[in-house]
Amino acid sequence: MIKPIQWRNRTLILLDQRRLPRDVRYLRLKRVADVAGAISTLAVRGAPAIGIAAAYGVVLGVCAQMRDGAARRNARGLRRALDRDIKTLRATRPTAVNLFWALERMRRRFQSLPAAATGADAAAALEDEAVEIHREDEARCEAIGRWGATLLPKRATVVTHCNAGALATGGIGTALGVVYAAARAGKAVRVFADETRPLLQGARLTAFELKQNGIDVTLMADSMSASLIRKIPVDAVIVGADRIARNGDTANKIGTYALAINARYHGVPFYVAAPASTFDLTLAGGKDIPIEERNPDEVTGSNSQRIAPAGIRVFNPAFDVTPAELITAIITDKGIIRPVRVRTVMSVIGGKRKS
């Protein structure tokens, strides 16, 4: 299984997902600015993967300070530089909460160091923390897969949207992690993947990933899902998430909301798969989730070719919010949230396991 994020000798190695599926190329990053650029331009994407990459970015920032000698001269300067690096990384993507969760965790780890800690101590501690964030996400993906696989029959047809697989996480994925776990359990799973306009993550990434891993996958345009669900028996729609509010309202790639409406109308279970780190319990509901608006060129052009009239106005939100009432269950590493409401979210994510 291709790994989108690797950490070797204090170098962040990222699979450049902008080039898939035609080219499999890796970026070797050693500067915070390069990590921020990779996140903002979608070289690395997927909420868990963004958080992991950002955590390693903080380590690179401290290492750069040590190379410049600032860490040895002035511990206060190191703290200012770390704050500046975190601010740079926070500004890359506004919706995916794993980014902010990981950066805050890195800040807390730095603040926990004793006053006498050296720059080398800080670099080592932050590196340990980033590696642990990465390892934890791998374990979370496995747990999500195990919980989710129990929801699928022995022969299952699944519809998914965007990419929530190994390419988007530190492990086997969230939504696709359920598919992989079910396949490992001996279940026959076929997947219909939405192409996911305008950036075609389903076509470029999900279809690529599933095909690489021997999963039966069929690609379709986003507008075809309702016709598909009406035509053939579909056992589940499974998607990932970028931020989930306290009441279960879920932000995910644009087009998810429409897919949820289709599923509800046709009586198909609609599942969200996400780790506990994707929940933002400070937000009461989906109306409070910030939605990223991306470059109009993503809609007006394709493969550097203009497909729309020059000067046309464009509406291009990267995400939409699916109301909790349309979600059959949320599959997390801590258990399955069902029905989706404040009480059940808090009982699972708040520490008490509930399946």
Active site residues: 242
What is the spatial order of strands in the sheet that 243-245 belongs to? 279-280, 243-245, 250-253, 319-322
Q: Are the C-beta atoms of residues 243 and 47 closer than 8 Å to each other?
A: yes
Q: Are the C-beta atoms of residues 324 and 248 closer than 8 Å to each other?
A: yes
Amino acid at 249: D
Q: Are the C-beta atoms of residues 197 and 220 closer than 8 Å to each other?
A: no
Q: Are the C-beta atoms of residues 24 and 43 closer than 8 Å to each other?
A: no
103-109 LR contacts (CB < 8 Å, sep 24+): 103/51, 103/54, 103/55, 103/58, 105/55, 105/129, 105/133, 106/54, 106/55, 106/58, 106/130, 107/82, 107/83
User: What is the distance between the terminal CA atoms of the chain, rounded to a whole angstrom?
Assistant: 29
